[in-house]
Amino acid sequence: MIQQPLQWIELNAEALKHNITQFKHLLGKKRNMVAMVKANAYGHGMLEIADIAIKSGAEWLGVQSIDEGLILREQGFTCPILSVGYIPLHHLEQAVNKNIRITVYNHQSIEKLGNICRALNKKAFLHLKLETGTYRQGIDEDEIIPFIKKIQQYKGLVIEGISSHFANIEDTTDHSYARDQLYRFQNFLDIIGRYGIKERFKHMACSAAVILFPETYFNMARIGIGMYGLWPSNEVFVSSLLRDRPEFNLKPVLSWKARVAQVKKVPKDAFIGYGCTYRTTRETDLAVIPAGYSDGYSRSLSNISYVLIKGKRAPVRGRIAMNFLMADITDISGVEVEDVVVLLGKDGLDSITADKLASLTGTINYEIIARINPNILRVVV
Ligand SMILES: *Cc1c(COP(=O)(O)O)cnc(C)c1O
């Protein structure tokens, strides 16, 4: 391993374990937790997070693509893996071979899977995705019985789970739409139950649902953002305060660090960076930091964010470049080449959160972390 990396991500294993324990406590012993490790574990690093998540008590891993599932299998993960995305028809055989649970909602997938299972004499474990009002993936209510009949034409196809996903549980403190979706889900379950299907797992809840609504738990929940120690939104945080659950808290798992590449003096009235978007108003000490938008540090943060050096805030000056950003260290004494810079996380008494960077650029914490370049070194601490 590189001894002195220029840039790295630290993953706090204790924090991850703490967050998982918090969610498992809410869910209770009998329910299963799917640790969502899609999108490189929300930018954290899929293999590192999957390993700690399973050791911390998550029963399942949730991925988006077949590729993510295959990598987990190659690396020796034997737990159930659920793909919540779309698996292309010509990759379904690999999913069956590696026993990756498949989210289904297309007739074409069923036909292909049925033939694969027949040819290989294997089983495929399916999770039906139901349309309850998100209008992303899902089977409509009037389609569900024909869909199940189609599945039943094939011997190897097992309906293992029934699932849906909330559209409007993070963005609001008005939960009427979420309740309506839950009602529609229950209606689906009635229809399916009356038809005689006995699926093992019913799951609808994401982090926000688990934090706010026990009635969404059924017997499995898919947890992403909360596991990484971030709140799904301010609205969820505010709503949770009314739930009288003072002991529930989350600890951020990820810190993002880099080292100073150069320290320099810049005269008053000088322009910094591409486009000359910042002009110094005084003689300025500047730190050049080898991290930029190709690493996932958004160019939209140009001139508005700050980094932490020696526990103090150093404002970003000028445009963020592909591989560099510059920060004003005039008010921080003694900064030297290769000193540690915190782009995201704690430093001394201060910290920069994903929520902070998100609010500066008009996005959500999910996007801030999910876009961190997977090639940056991950270190579990
Ligand atoms: C990503 C994802 C989740 C996790 O949502 P969080 O808000 O991060 O907890 C749950 N279900 C599905 C289908 C997802 O794609």
Distance 130 CA to ligand 1 centre (A): 15
Residues forming CATH 2.40.37.10 domain(s) in the chain: 254-352
Distance 264 CA to ligand 1 centre (A): 45
Residues forming CATH 3.20.20.10 domain(s) in the chain: 13-242
Query: Tell me, what's the pLDDT at 2?
Result: 62
Q: How confident is the model over 9-31, as pLDDT tens digits?
A: 999 999 999 999 999 999 999 99
Ligand 1: residues with CB < 6 A are 36, 38, 84, 165, 206-208, 222-226, 232
CA distances from 319 to 3, 338, 340 (A): 30, 22, 21
Query: Tell me, what's the pLDDT at 245?
Result: 81
Sign of CA dihedral 304, 307, 313, 319: negative
Distance 142 CA to ligand 1 centre (A): 26
Query: Tell me, what's the pLDDT at 205?
Result: 98
- Ligand 1, pocket-test mutation among 34, 207, 217, 222, most atoms within 8 A of CB: 222
CA distance 127 to 164: 10
- Ligand 1, pocket-test mutation among 20, 23, 36, 46, most atoms within 8 A of CB: 36
Counting from 1 in the atom list of ligand 1, the atom nearest the Cα of 207 is 9
| CATH 1.10.3720.10 corresponds to the domain 13-242 | no
Query: Tell me, what's the pLDDT at 73?
Result: 98
- Ligand 1, pocket-test mutation among 206, 235, 366, most atoms within 8 A of CB: 206
Query: Tell me, what's the pLDDT at 257?
Result: 98
Query: Tell me, what's the pLDDT at 247?
Result: 85
Residues of the chain scoring pLDDT < 50: none
Query: Tell me, what's the pLDDT at 36?
Result: 98
Distance 24 CA to ligand 1 centre (A): 16
Q: With CA atoms as reference, report the closest residue to 164 among 191, 190, 135.
A: 135
Query: Tell me, what's the pLDDT at 83?
Result: 98
Distance 224 CA to ligand 1 centre (A): 5
Name the CATH architecture for the domain at 254-352: Beta Barrel (2.40)
Query: Mind telling me the catalytic residues?
Result: 38, 274
Per the CB < 8 A criterion, the answer to whether 196 and 10 are in contact is no
Query: Tell me, what's the pLDDT at 1?
Result: 56
Q: Which residue's alpha carbon is nearest to atom 6 within ligand 1?
A: 224
Residue 308: Cβ within 10 Å count: 23
Q: With CA atoms as reference, report the closest residue to 119 among 99, 100, 93, 98.
A: 93
Q: Dig out the tokens for 100 from the structure.
A: 């990756």
Query: Tell me, what's the pLDDT at 164?
Result: 97
